Amino acid sequence: MKTPNVPKVTTHVLNEMKVRGKKISMLTSYDYSMARIVDCAGIDVILVGDSASNVMAGHKTTLPVTLNEMIYHASSVTRGSERALVVVDLPFGTYQGNSRKALESAIRIMKESSADAVKLEGGGEIIESVIRILSAGIPVMGHLGLTPQSIHKFGTYRVRATEPEEAKKIIADAQLLADTGCFALVLEKIPAKLAEKITKSIKIPVIGIGAGNKVDGQVLVIHDMLGINQDFSPRFLRRYHNLHEEIKMAVEKYIRDVKNVDFPNENEQY
């Protein structure tokens, strides 16, 4: 059921939440039906993550998902959400090393999906792209720490910035993204103490995933937190359901009913 006249969450609202110490909730969605449920539940931000590449398309990494595919997912999500701010990941290869291409990619997302903002992975190395996208009036969310589009550089999904040098770079990148005008920042899989330090030192909201609870909000991939996806169990993940098992049991029951000619019954036919 759609809720009438719900006030829309904006980047300004998120900033106010940080100032007032109110935590921000964020989850991914990739389709209309899930977005409707998540939005009705009152989530603040829906991320159309490039994790679609993993959980929707079955790829091993986030690299293969295309701009057209992200626009398809994002436009389905915006049709299903009224209240939440909808942020869309710019996929790998659409913004790195070419700020004009970055702007074109971001404009396509905003025009063709009616999203509210875009998210880019990286700091200093992509700052020209961030500046150019911001110059067109498109809100940008940053993403530092474990940035899955760089998995081939990292070689592992282990926790990032445990060494002082990488921690220093993340602190500097976070400040740079905030000073440049990003409206919020995702910190993924870094030590909780480092995330806390960054959260206190920058003015924009910091949303953590595997970054402890001293940040301004939390994000999870919905397939992971609902237990649809069973083969991903990092320490930071809390499972709120075991939907894999529940859906499997329902499908097994349906198969039994069909085979036993128990479905459809007299009331389920014309």
Judged by CB, which is closer to ligand KIV: 232, or 254? 232
Q: Which of residues 52-91 bind ligand KIV (CB under 6 A)?
A: 89
The catalytically annotated residue of 188, 196, 246, 268 is 188
Judge whether 121 counts as a catalytic residue.
no
Q: Which of 11, 192, 15, 148 is nearest to 87 (CA)?
A: 11
209 touches ligand KIV by CB under 6 A: yes
Q: Is the peptide bond before 139 cis (omega within 30 degrees of 0)?
A: no
**Is residue 204 within the footprint of ligand KIV (CB under 6 A)?**
no
User: How far is CA 124 from each of CA 62, 65, 142, 152, rounded to the nearest angstrom?
Assistant: 21, 24, 11, 19
> Which letter does DSSP use for residue 87 in this model?
E
Q: Which is nearer to ligand KIV, 36 or 223 (by Cβ)? A: 223
In the bound state with ligand KIV, the residue whose beta carbon lies nearer, of 46 and 178, is 46
Select the residue whose beta carbon is closest to ligand KIV and give its number: 49
The reply to whether 186 sits near ligand KIV by the rule CB under 6 A is yes
Q: Which of 28, 75, 149, 229 binds ligand KIV (CB under 6 A)?
A: 28
Query: Which H or E run includes 219?
Result: strand 217-220
Among 17, 49, 198, 225, binds ligand KIV (CB under 6 A): 49
Output the 3-class SS for 143-211.
EEECCHHHHHHHCCCCCCCCCHHHHHHHHHHHHHHHHHCCCEEEEECCCHHHHHHHHHHCCCCEEEECC
- With CB under 6 A as the rule, give the number of residues binding ligand KIV: 11
Q: Shortest distance, CB of residue 70 to ligand KIV, whole angstroms? A: 10
CA distance 33 to 20: 32
Give residues in contact with ligand KIV (CB under 6 A).
28, 47, 49-51, 89, 186, 188, 209, 219, 221
